[in-house]
Amino acid sequence: MSIASQIVVCGSIVPDPLQTLEPLAGPGGPALKNEMMLPAVLDPWAGHALYEAANLAKNQPGSKVWLVSLGPKTKLQQVMMTVAQKAPFELIALDGSASGFSDAFETAAVLADAITAIPGLDKSKLLVFGGWESASRGAGVTMQIVGERLGIVDQFQGVDELKLNPDGSFEVFERVEGGRHQISRCAGPPMVIGWATGNLPEPKNNPQVGMMNMRTVMPALQKAKPVKVSAEGVIFASVALPTQTRQTRIVQDASPEDIAREIVEWIRP
């Protein structure tokens, strides 16, 4: 017996990873150089969560998907023009900083408050999806804190697959060490799912879905609630890109057997 779910996806925007990101210490704390000028995309981790939510809702008649997104309103509008064509959802926009230097607790607090304020929300049917990690807010605890503030104790992080059983229960495949999965069985909502990569491809653009979504996206952006998230009281000793290290050794006339033997010795613990 399949019961309709209410699926809320928490997903923010991040600078396009193809751009050069240069961190710097600004007057208000750490930031990225020309951050507001950088093109933005939906956080890839949150993208997996959104596509998985849309697929689950399609297989559960009567289900609905909300996307709660925190970021500068102008940037959200640019990104939603593309994301709206990927999957059906109702946008709940929060106008605030999308900086990767924001405090995870403050971010989780405004997300949880926005979810609680959804009209007609039934927590007995609630599934909260989001990225296990983030391309910018990589603290790895945001979704956990959101679940705790909502009073949801069944939480699964690093999820690659979620199977809906005929009786309405779920099988959850969580990543564990050694490239394996821990399989858990949950009787049903409410649950928090922190997605890793999932197993669904990115949906193709669908103009009809985009037109349907834009009926609610634009009004949601116009009435986006201003929120303040920061890192007040947090001091960063330094802000820098990871250094690249390459150790190259040029050897001539080495036989394939010698090369293979050296690789094995290097890999062997």
- At residue 8 the predicted structure's pLDDT band, cuts being 50, 70 and 90, is very high
Query: Residues 6 or more apart from 58 whose CB is under 8 A from it?
Result: none
How many angstroms separate the first and last alpha carbons of the chain? 50
**CATH 3.40.190.10 for the 6-240 domain, yes or no:** no
> Is residue 240 very low, low, confident or very high in pLDDT (cuts 50, 70, 90)?
low
CB-CB contact of 123 with 190 (8 Å): yes
Q: Are 162 and 193 in contact (CB under 8 A)?
A: yes
pLDDT (0 to 100) of residue 192: 92
Would you tell me how many other CB atoms lie within 10 Å of the CB of residue 203? 15
Q: How confident is the model at residue 115 (pLDDT cuts 50, 70, 90)?
A: very high
Q: What pLDDT, in 10s, does the model give residues 38-78? A: 778 888 888 888 999 998 888 888 889 999 988 888 888 88
CA distance 157 to 182: 11
User: d(Cα 89, Cα 217) in Å, to the nearest integer?
Assistant: 9
- Residue that has been written with the tokens 């405090």 in this structure: 103
The span from the CA of 223 to the CA of 225, in Å, is 6
- Span of 20-24, 124-128, 144-148 with lowest mean pLDDT: 20-24
pTM of the predicted structure, to 2 decimals: 0.78
Least confident stretch, 20-29, 126-135, 177-186: 20-29
Question: Which pLDDT score is estimated for 2?
Answer: 61
**Structure confidence at residue 212 as a pLDDT band (50, 70, 90):** confident
The pLDDT assigned to 237 comes to 66
Domain ranges of the chain: 6-240
Task: Give mean pLDDT, residues 181-189.
Answer: 88
- What Å distances lie between residue 188 and 63, 134, 242, CA to CA? 14, 26, 42
Task: Name the nearest CA neighbour of 199 among 166, 222, 173, 180.
Answer: 173
Q: Is the pLDDT of residue 222 over 80?
A: yes
Does residue 28 surpass a pLDDT of 70? no
Percent of the chain with pLDDT over 90: 8
